[in-house]
Amino acid sequence: MALSGVENLARLPELKKKLLWTFLLLAVYRIGIHIPVPGVDSSALADFFANAQNTLFGLFDMFSGGGLKNLSIFALGIMPYISASIILQLLTVVSPELKRMQKEEGEAGRKKITQYTRYGTVLITIVQGFGIAVGLESMTSPSGAPVVMHAGWSFKLMTILTLTAGTVFLMWLGEQMTEKGIGNGISLIIFAGIVAGLPSALFNTVRLMTVGEISLFLLLIIMAVMVATLAFIVFMERGQRRIPIHYAKRQMGRKMFGGQTTHLPLRVNTAGVIPPIFASSILLFPSTVANFSSVEWLKSISDMLLPTSILYNVVYVAIIIFFCYFYTAIIFDPKGIARTFRSRAASSRAFVRAPRLASTSTAFWHASRCGAPCTYRPSAFCPCS
């Protein structure tokens, strides 16, 4: 099957062109990771990040593919763009103007929202760049060496301009991958940044097995658990609840049309990876603040919220569950889906065979989202609204 895929690739020059374009842009991204911001002592910064693995710096460094640890021009990665996209999504729910723009203006409205997202990305990058510049000037390595060699407003402005230009360029790379490459450019950049640390992790694993710190049996168990976890994630990510939609038969002249059945796919994991990212950011925030503070209670909270502690994992799971419900409630609009279906069903004679308990189409979309029959009535409170 793999050989047939390669043969098909050779027969499809357009696909080959898209793959080559994507790999070229990813190579540009990886080269930029190793271009540092001027005025920073790289050895002192590396010593600082060696002691900041379990903080927000470690999380952001992972998403930036090691760019933050090197303080490269792509140190902020694509995270400001993701933050701006999430903010625009949330504002679309609460702002009637943005909601109208998204639903009624079609492609032109989506282009305007994309433009607003770009402006938001630049604004967030400027704020984060200034914060990083100020933080770097106060950082020292464990040996006491300052991270910034020549502090001042010249370094601040240089850092803000460099990081902003790097993030905007990354945003452009992602859009080019989406348009001219194989698609999902932003996701590919995040994926490339995360897997960039895979070779060094494999090398360290082999080294530990060579010196006898990890046995071959334990390594095989770890690999089996990793494969099973990956398969379960893919299974859940591709999982759908398919709502059957039936089309009534109708006669036009001497021909009979309709009588077909299709489905409306509803994703099981509607929130995606947003809840784990939010949960990690919230739990790592106390550790990050404790690195810059000498307050004892902050340090005690940071010690209690270490990733290896039971409290951390319990709170982490609870926050993920909360954000899953919260984000799904914002993204999934059962009333909007019901209105759209009713407007289209009038012309195509389509109908949904809903459960008996759901007396309205809106209640059925509520039941579909909750995964259980809903006792919603127009005059009663629905727990999933």
| 3-state SS, one letter per residue, for 4-34 | HHHHHHHHCHHHHHHHHHHHHHHHHHHHHHC
How many beta carbons lie within 10 A of that of residue 4, not counting itself? 8
Helix (H, G, I), strand (E, B) or coil at 365: helix
Above 90 in pLDDT, residue 253? no
- Amino acid of residue 378: P
Question: What are the residues facing 146 on neighbouring strands?
Answer: 140
Nearest to 78, CA basis, from 48, 117, 45: 117
Nearest to 185, CA basis, from 60, 61, 265, 82: 82
What percentage of the chain exceeds 90 in pLDDT?
4
pLDDT bracket for residue 169 (50, 70, 90): very high
Give the residue-averaged pLDDT of 147-151.
77
How many Å apart are CA 367 and CA 382, to the nearest integer? 10
What's residue 356's pLDDT? Answer: 52
Above 70 in pLDDT, residue 66? no
* 146: DSSP letter: B
- Amino acid of residue 141: S
The pLDDT tens digits of the residues spanning 113-131 come to 888 889 999 998 888 888 8
Query: 0.75 cut: is pTM over it?
Result: no
Above 70 in pLDDT, residue 315? yes
Mean pLDDT score of the chain:
76
- Asked if residues 47 and 142 have their Cβ atoms less than 8 Å apart, the reply is yes
Q: Which residue has the higher pLDDT, 236 or 257?
A: 236
Give the residue-averaged pLDDT of 218-241.
88
- Asked if residues 135 and 292 have their Cβ atoms less than 8 Å apart, the reply is yes
Q: Which of 7-16, 230-239, 261-270, 276-285 holds the top average pLDDT?
A: 230-239
What's residue 362's pLDDT? Answer: 53
What's residue 90's pLDDT? Answer: 78
pLDDT bracket for residue 345 (50, 70, 90): low
What's residue 229's pLDDT? Answer: 92
How many Å apart are CA 278 and CA 233, to the nearest integer? 18
CA-CA distances (angstroms) from residue 300 to 17, 308, 378?
Answer: 55, 15, 50
What's residue 376's pLDDT? Answer: 40
pLDDT bracket for residue 56 (50, 70, 90): low
SS (H, E, C) 164-189: HHHHHHHHHHHHHHHHHCCCCHHHHH
Above 70 in pLDDT, residue 309? yes
How many Å apart are CA 63 and CA 68, to the nearest integer? 9
Residues 93, 99, 105: CA angle, nearest 5 degrees: 160
Lowest mean pLDDT among 147-151, 170-174, 322-326: 147-151
Nearest to 373, CA basis, from 363, 381, 362: 363
The pLDDT tens digits of the residues spanning 194-228 come to 787 778 778 888 888 888 778 888 888 988 998 99
Place of tokens 């919260």: 326
What's residue 330's pLDDT? Answer: 76
- Asked if residues 164 and 129 have their Cβ atoms less than 8 Å apart, the reply is yes
The pLDDT tens digits of the residues spanning 10-50 come to 577 788 888 888 999 989 988 888 888 888 777 777 776 66
